[in-house]
Structure 1
Amino acid sequence: MRKSQEIGRSVVSVALACAVMACPVALVGCNDDAGEQGAVATTGEQPAEEQPAEEQPVEEVQSEYDVTIDGATVTTDYEGAPAMIVDYSFTNNSDEATSFAVACSQKAFQNGVQLETAIVTEDLGNGYLAEIKPGATTTARMAYSLTDQSDVTVEVSELISLDDTLLAQATFPAA
């Protein structure tokens, strides 16, 4: 029975990794300016200072992954619209190598509505998709499109779980 669970988990991990990889790939080339490949609009504004997290208590959870939400920075996306970059730390305590993208679901909300991911000009690094070995820790950065200047609540849970127990939660000001 244990071997079949491992095989099932591997199949689900591969399927999820493919789905996650397909999203950014589908966005490449979604530019109305044909012939201006690689052109990026900049506003000349400097990103705002990193906002401190208003930590919210999360009940102690038995999980194969340790996640902290380390901070957030208000910035703009590639079109100049408001966005927020959230910094995460991810530790893999499982028996197999995995990535933050495959192991966890991270969501940001404003006014109770989930925010869409944003495309920003800042380098977010490879921590979100990088596979890490058991016991290793990496940092990941995700960008979200802001809808207004209300607070942003960020939640992280295991991607595949029988319940929606949060691994981490924090609230940041968007203004």
Structure 2
Amino acid sequence: MKKRVALILFGSLLALSLCACGGDDTASTTQGETADTTTTDETQEPVDTSSATVGDYEVSIGDASMISDDYTGEEAFLVNLTFTNNGEETTSPMLALMVEAYQDGVQLERAIIGSEDFDAGSESLNVQPGGSNEFQLVFTLTSESPVQVIAQEFLGDGTQATKTFDPATLA
């Protein structure tokens, strides 16, 4: 019985000592120094910058138009983009970039289109270093509100190309 109590006490002591090793994420400061508590506001909307260097790539958000969504029968939003590979390896816009569209603050879903006006395979074409490729993406709209398109490097530093479109003014 004494051995059991001793083992329980030893196990508890070991667990407590391991918990104490975790520490916290706040930085300690010496006298006269202050801790940097600057935070970023993730709800801040990006400014329209239709072209940007994102990592090893240049991305440019071009024009847009409305197109019929074959799957739902509703109108969809088609956007043209240009991808330039300034890296050292061959890659495609599909693998290198993350392109999203937002309407009323909510991300839009990709549309399923079977139209001659849409080149569905253009996003997956490989681009050699120094080469450029124009590609298209289509999104299903949820309202008549403006659409914000954001393009950034997949797992990049957050640098973005952004452009806002008003569906009411698109043909």
Residues 103 and 60 of structure 1: CA distance in aligned 2, closer, same or farther (over 3 Å): closer
Specify the alignment match of 1:157 in structure 2: 152
1:65 paired with 2:62, answer: no
Residue identity in the other structure for 2:163: A
Using the TM superposition, give the Cα deviation of residue 148 of structure 1 relative to its aligned residue in structure 2, in angstroms: 0.6
> Could you give the per-residue CA deviations for residues 5-56 of structure 1, whole angstroms, max 9, x where no partner exists?
xxxxxxxxxxxxxxxxxxxxxxxxxxxxxxxxxxxxxxxxxxxxxxxxxx81
Using the TM superposition, give the Cα deviation of residue 57 of structure 1 relative to its aligned residue in structure 2, in angstroms: 3.1
After TM superposition, the runs of 4+ consecutive aligned structure 1 residues lying more than 4 A away are 58-62
Q: Give the TM-score taking structure 2 as reference length.
A: 0.65
Counterparts of 1:98 and 1:85 in 2: how far apart (Å)?
A: 23
Specify the alignment match of 1:81 in structure 2: 74
> Could you give the per-residue CA deviations for residues 130-174 of structure 1, whole angstroms, max 9, x where no partner exists?
01100000011000000010000000000122x3221x1101111
> Could you give the per-residue CA deviations for residues 89-115 of structure 1, whole angstroms, max 9, x where no partner exists?
000000000000000000000011000
Using the TM superposition, give the Cα deviation of residue 120 of structure 1 relative to its aligned residue in structure 2, in angstroms: 1.6
Residues 58 and 89 of structure 1: CA distance in aligned 2, closer, same or farther (over 3 Å): closer
How many pairs are equivalent? 119
The structure number with the bigger radius of gyration is: 2
Residues 98 and 170 of structure 1: CA distance in aligned 2, closer, same or farther (over 3 Å): same
Identity %: 33
**SS of residue in 2 equivalent to 1:128:** helix
1:131 paired with 2:123, answer: no
**SS of residue in 2 equivalent to 1:95:** coil
Counterparts of 1:152 and 1:129 in 2: how far apart (Å)?
A: 23
Counterparts of 1:77 and 1:58 in 2: how far apart (Å)?
A: 25
**SS of residue in 2 equivalent to 1:67:** strand
Unaligned residue ranges in structure 2 (runs of 5+) = 1-46
Residue identity in the other structure for 1:160: L
On the 8 A contact 2:77/2:139 being kept in 1, the answer is: yes
On the 8 A contact 2:100/2:151 being kept in 1, the answer is: yes
